[in-house]
Amino acid sequence: MTYYKFQDSEKRVRIGKIICLARTYTEHAREMNVHVTEDPLLFLKPTSSIIFDHGTIIIPKQSQCLHHEVELGVILGKKAKSIPEENAMHSVLGYLVALDITARDIQAVAKKNGWPWAIAKGFDTFAPISDAVMKEKVPDPLNLDLMLRINGVVKQRANTNQMIYSIERIVSFISEIMTLEPGDLILTGTPEGVGEIKEGDVLEAQLDRLCSLTVDVKHE
Ligand code: MG
């Protein structure tokens, strides 16, 4: 079992299912040449893809092109089934910064053929996460600077206020489909600036002044 690491807390919360959103920032949808949708688009990542701060992203032999996607992660603290938007924040426990690592070459083939993204998104080490912060420390999760540097150079920089959907809407929408359970993690999608990562790169992700994540990259 894998547990979150909370800042300033011994809290033990097991990491549950990982629900990811796609196309939640207009500029990222534009760079990918896709349209945003009225309802959020969802896919899942396995818990086995989690790594922590100072971990290593492994480039699998099946892919020649991994991309970084820096994202705000929302941790669930309470069970939520068909929860209305006005109550959705009661289910949120905290936040973290995450990378939704994507085998872009495998995903491109999947998109072209109408196949699912489980392979492109699901390899081991494809979900690096930072230590978590409790929601009480985050008065407004939709006004946070989100940044990713590679080898010291800024590659992605945005504010969560550019996200198309509110946290309330995301939690409520997902809870109408699958029961959200304590420890589940929602990756809320990436802003523009995604690009390739290579062996030897050092990635630093940052969520405002709240939390950060440093990982490197190696071949299998
Ligand atoms: Mg993503």
Among candidate residues 43, 56, 67, 34, the one with its CA nearest the CA of residue 193: 67
Distance CA 100, CA 125 (A): 10
Q: Please give the distance, rounded to the nearest whole angstrom, from the Cα atom of residue 13 to the centre of ligand 1.
A: 23
Q: Please give the distance, rounded to the nearest whole angstrom, from the Cα atom of residue 148 to the centre of ligand 1.
A: 13
| Structural tokens at position 174 | 């997902």
Whether the pLDDT of residue 9 is over 90: the answer is no
Q: Please give the distance, rounded to the nearest whole angstrom, from the Cα atom of residue 46 to the centre of ligand 1.
A: 14
Predicted confidence (pLDDT) per residue in 182-213, tens digit: 999 999 999 999 999 999 999 999 999 999 99
Task: Using pLDDT thresholds of 50, 70 and 90, give the confidence band for residue 8.
Answer: confident
Predicted confidence (pLDDT) per residue in 12-28, tens digit: 999 999 999 999 999 98
3-class state of residue 209 by DSSP: coil
Distance CA 102, CA 24 (A): 16
Residue type, 113: N
- Compute the average pLDDT of residues 40-68: 97
Q: Please give the distance, rounded to the nearest whole angstrom, from the Cα atom of residue 67 to the centre of ligand 1.
A: 10
Domain boundaries defined on the chain: 18-219
Among candidate residues 57, 100, 107, 128, the one with its CA nearest the CA of residue 190: 100
- Compute the average pLDDT of residues 64-75: 98
CATH code that applies to domain 18-219: 3.90.850.10
Q: What is the mean pLDDT of the chain?
A: 96
Distance CA 82, CA 94 (A): 20
Predicted confidence (pLDDT) per residue in 107-130, tens digit: 999 999 999 999 999 999 999 999
